[in-house]
Amino acid sequence: LLRLNISRRPIANKYSDGKMQRTLKRGLKVPETGLKLQFLYFIGTRENKKKEEEKKMFSRNMMKVLAGAAVGTAATSTWVHAQVKKDSVSDVLKEIPSIHVMPMTQQMKAMQTIMRDQNTTRQDFVFFSDRLMRLLIEEALSFTPFKRTEVTTPTGDKYDGLSFCAKICGVSIMRAGESMENSLRATCRDVRIGKVLIQRDEKTGKPDPRYSYVKLPQDIKDRYVFLLDPMLATGGSAIRAVQILLDHGVKEERIVFVNVVCCPEGIRAFHKQFPRIQVVTSAVDAELNSKKYILPGLGDFGDRYFGTEGW
């Protein structure tokens, strides 16, 4: 049950024609969410009294609608919930500077729409996932070192540029993370790729403290590591995978976590453990459901990519 506080405050304003009016400001506040709903209406001296009364009536009706909604009607309950979720995503982006979300261009929005649609064929899902993941890999490369280089252009002039100098390898969290390997190979030729398999308890969403399988390049401690996993839900698997990398000598600041979709719960849990790791993602969704699936999400990424739904 939500408590409702209604405040009324008159404010003097001035018409553009010089006439004075009073603005009555009413606010609805839901303390449990910190959400304020405000509505303004105007009381003034107008020549047409009928129009003024109609506006007053409209204002009163609107306040009744908002007040009724704030105490539990389905429509506004959904609206309030959506606002809280939106605020939660906005808050996590402000408080965690190591999360980098790709700009939501029209192209990015269109690709995500296709990937999230439950009616999308596997062929289209794989095609557009590969396109989007390659953009993520390109963005992740921005967090590796470069060195200044001068070259001569075909016109004979000099150009001050940059050249790649980082030794990179990828580590995919099996099985869904393997879907990102092709995009990494397409961007970084001859890149080395390690694998980690982490068993997760589907009931709790937490990983088994033991990992089932790990195979990493021998010189991984000297490389910048792209940790690949398309979904960051609870953060348990990613946290365990990073701990394995640290145990093998990889420096925390040399890890970039590349991710397709994440949520505030997972981001906060991951950042709490490893604040120096940069996270590159294409979307931060609202929340987790009771089954630890991201909402609105896109379903089980691995099943949709590899065609194993229902098994």
Which residues belong to the active site? 200, 204, 300, 303
Element spanning 35, H or E = strand 35-44
Chain position carrying tokens 């449990």: 32
Show the CA angle centred on residue 235, arms to residues 234 and 236, nearest 5°: 95
Cα-to-chain-centroid distance, residue 216: 29
Helix (H, G, I), strand (E, B) or coil at 119: coil
Closest listed residue to residue 140, CA positions, set 305, 282, 294: 282
Could you give the CA distance from residue 87 to residue 132 in angstroms, rounded to a whole number?
26
Could you give the CA distance from residue 261 to residue 281 in angstroms, rounded to a whole number?
6
Examine residue 304 and say whether the peptide bond preceding it is cis (omega within 30 degrees of 0).
no
Give the phi and the psi of residue 282 in degrees, each rounded to 5. Answer: -100, -15
Q: With 0-12 CB in 10 A as exposed, 13-18 as middle and 19+ as buried, what is 133?
A: buried
